[in-house]
A and B are shown apart, each in its own frame.
Chain A
Amino acid sequence: MYRYDEFDHRFVAERTAEFRGQVARRLTGELTEEEFKPLRLMNGLYLQLHAYMLRVAIPYGTLAGRQMRMLAHIAETYDRGYGHFTTRQNIQYNWPKLSDIPAILDDLASVEMHAIQTSGNCIRNVTSDPLAGVAPDEIEDPRVTAEVLRQWSSLHPEFTFLGRKFKIAVTGCETDRAAIAVHDIGLQIVRGPDGETGYRVLVGGGQGRSPFIAKELRAFLPREDLLPYLTAALRVYNLHGRRDNKFKARIKILVHELGIDAYREQVEAEFAAIDREAVAAPWEEWERIRAYFALPDLAPVPAEDTGFERALATDPDFKLWVEQNTHEHRVTGYRAATVSLKPVGGVPGDATAEQMRVLAKLAEKHSADELRITHEQNVVLPHIALGDLYKVFRALAGIGLDAPNRGLVTDIIACPGLDYCALATARSIPVAQAISTRFADTKRQAEIGPLAIKISGCINACGHHHVAHIGILGIDRAGVESYQLTLGGEPADIPAIGERTGPGFGFDEVPGAIETIVDRYLSLRENPRETFLQAYRRVGMAPFKEALYGTQ
């Protein structure tokens, strides 16, 4: 894991002091509310429906035990005893007091964390693959690149007052777990003509009101050109992106309106003019950062473990959990495990201080002191020896985090919705809870197979409903919540935006409508291995439409 050096520490300390000063200057009136707003947003502080919300950065979703403990401490000391993990691999606290914020930032700084650029019209926290460094098919750990980008984008003088927010995701595998095609810039680490690593660069993806799948900007970008090239791409956006309408200000609109070829031409012209040497991170800096992401020292263990085999044979719940929630590891005898934050009827992504502490302890004892937050709002323990898996599972069961539902119908992504968010037009969390309760039976979930349900409480699409197998969008229709359904969205592999089924459903009707869709799928799939998405791609919308609305 990356560790701060003296410069990183000083940088964050200066930033915290700066924000403390800005809060004080706001209170004296030297800064107007309008001037203060982007400054507080750049420090992760939102004003929500009922209170301030603080969003803390978890760069590329990687955490150590002591950091998770600090998140628990903050939840308990300054909030209501819990935190909410987000689709950007961050955590947010929904109830902090403005006057406590500087103290929280100091606490975060003490464990090498901050809230810089988790909001505002700047380059946001860079996200990555939660199985980085673990996945056997990985070309290179994407977190090295993500950390280089984190540093480069922090308080960038040119790109701190962009037209709109800017999100970058990096993956090091062909299998994309970072949803790079729905980011402003998506980077896939690939091998170049001579076997050297570089990037396939995507641009202009995004969700929100106008969803777009990103287009390819460069098939291969050499590593040393990364920062100069992104500087060029951002500069063209900063200069030419729309500023007249905040809903058309993301880079996806610029790329769409110009066309990818014209945008590329401008970027390449800018790139040609930039002094690359001066902008690029030096080679030694890449190597310095790379060293932090070396595979941890994992004690050699055999490929098979008798205790593990026995537990599999005797505890069916464990067997189900292992099948559904654990992942192949590049080191023999180890697995990575997804800890689902989606217990039946729970709030997706929420964790209590107690749960966080147990997760921290499990990481320290059994996972090389590492945790990952996923964009599906779950937690990954990346390095567990087979012989420890059952112990870990039992400990998770003890805190209610043993749901064997990763990737299944109850592993629902939901935005905070009308329960917290000032922008929301409908509730999201209670919808997720109702669906999760409806499909509580773990056998039935396993029978249904992979199915991603994602819920947004307004058209800004923070719940990623556009790229859900079944997407749910809550809107307000004349004072009544109405939920539109979309089918066939997918963030990775062959990325796609979901299609609307037809008229929306009332709050109480949603679980029934989902069940209707699921039942239709079960009756039409060719065999149990044909997933919902595969079946949908084969048969299209018509059978589902008929099941939902009848023949017309």
Chain B
Amino acid sequence: MVLSDTVAGEAVLIDRSGVIAERWSLAPDEGPLPEGPVILPFLRRDEIAELAADRPGAVGLHLPNDTDPRRLRDHFDGLALISVAFPSFADGRGFSIGRCLREIGYDGRLRATGPVIADQFAYLIECGFDEVSIPAALASRQPPERWLERLETLGLTYQRGPGGALRASILDQRRAARAVVGEL
């Protein structure tokens, strides 16, 4: 996938606080890098370490969703942001990539890049994502308020596990309820 197809162009960045400013710029597949925080295409991943020494906390990487996230393990130290491609909202590979990156120890910023929809925001956060970068046209149909509202309307989840901090786990609530009964 060409990075510019999904990351560049008119995009709106949303996290759990609402719309946030974009401070990252995209590096081309080859040639000189833009100034400031920069997201490298996956094929330039070998430049991460050197660049991170130069620009600490300002190196990111864009990961196509057909790439094994475990291949990034050795680069975590230099990375402050990983952007995972969602070529379509129906292509759910990125959810597993998010979970996988968190499980193998990535603790930097995690971004979903592409036309994901507001109804997926809670799932994305539960899979370890911090923010979404969506096409502006989509954001005009599904305004930022909607994204925040969609986080609030789903209160409960049956799953446990990493990233599950958003919705309350029913299993853990049952356990808590049992503990209360046990004390009575």
Contacts and interface: CB of A to CB of B under 8 A. Distances in A.
B16 interface: no
B123 to A, nearest CB: 4
Interface in B153-168: 153-164
Interface string B101-124: 001100000000000010110111
A422 interface: no
Nearest to A236: B96
Interface stretch (B2-10, B31-39, B52-60, B172-180): B172-180
Interface residues of A, number: 46
A31 B171 CA distance: 32
Interface in B14-28: none
Given A21-B153, A30-B146, A282-B171, A160 B92 contact: yes
A30 B141 contact: yes
Nearest to B172: A282
Given A30-B142, A39-B119, A239-B97, A157 B174 contact: no
B99 A158 contact: yes
Interface in A149-174: 151-152, 154-163
B154 A238 contact: no
Interface in A259-293: 273-275, 278-282, 284-285, 288
Interface residues of B, number: 42
B154 A14 contact: yes
Interface string A1-35: 00001011011001001100110000001111001
Given A161-B90, A282-B175, A29 B141 contact: yes
B96 A10 contact: no
B79 interface: no
Nearest to B155: A14
Given A7-B156, A14-B154, A158 B96 contact: yes
A441 to B, nearest CB: 51
Contacts of B68: 239
B141 A285 contact: no
A288 B174 contact: yes
B91 A161 contact: yes
A31 to B, nearest CB: 7
B141 A278 contact: no
A121 interface: yes
Contacts of A239: 68, 93, 96-97, 100
B123 A157 contact: yes
A32 B137 CA distance: 12
A391 interface: no
A191 interface: no
B175 A161 contact: no
A285 B171 CA distance: 7
A154 B119 CA distance: 15
Contact of A157 (B95, B100, B155, B173): B95
Interface string A123-162: 0000000000000000000000000000110111111111
B12 interface: no
B138 to A, nearest CB: 9
B132 interface: no
B135 to A, nearest CB: 13
Contact of B161 (A35, A121, A162, A278): A278
Contact of A14 (B93, B99, B124, B156): B156
B87 to A, nearest CB: 9
A38 interface: yes
Contact of B103 (A5, A10, A121, A274): A274
A394 interface: no
A522 to B, nearest CB: 51
Interface of B: 68, 89-93, 95-97, 99-100, 103-104, 117, 119-120, 122-124, 126-127, 141-142, 146, 153-164, 170-171, 173-175, 178
26 contacts: A5-B174, A8-B170, A10-B156, A30-B141, A30-B142, A35-B117, A38-B90, A151-B158, A151-B170, A152-B158, A155-B123, A157-B123, A158-B92, A160-B92, A161-B90, A235-B99, A235-B100, A238-B92, A238-B93, A239-B93, A243-B93, A274-B103, A275-B162, A281-B171, A282-B171, A284-B175
Given A157-B123, A284-B178, 6 more contacts: A152-B159, A158-B95, A160-B92, A161-B89, A231-B161, A278-B161
Interface of A: 5, 7-8, 10-11, 14, 17-18, 21-22, 29-32, 35, 38-39, 121, 151-152, 154-163, 231, 235, 238-239, 243, 273-275, 278-282, 284-285, 288
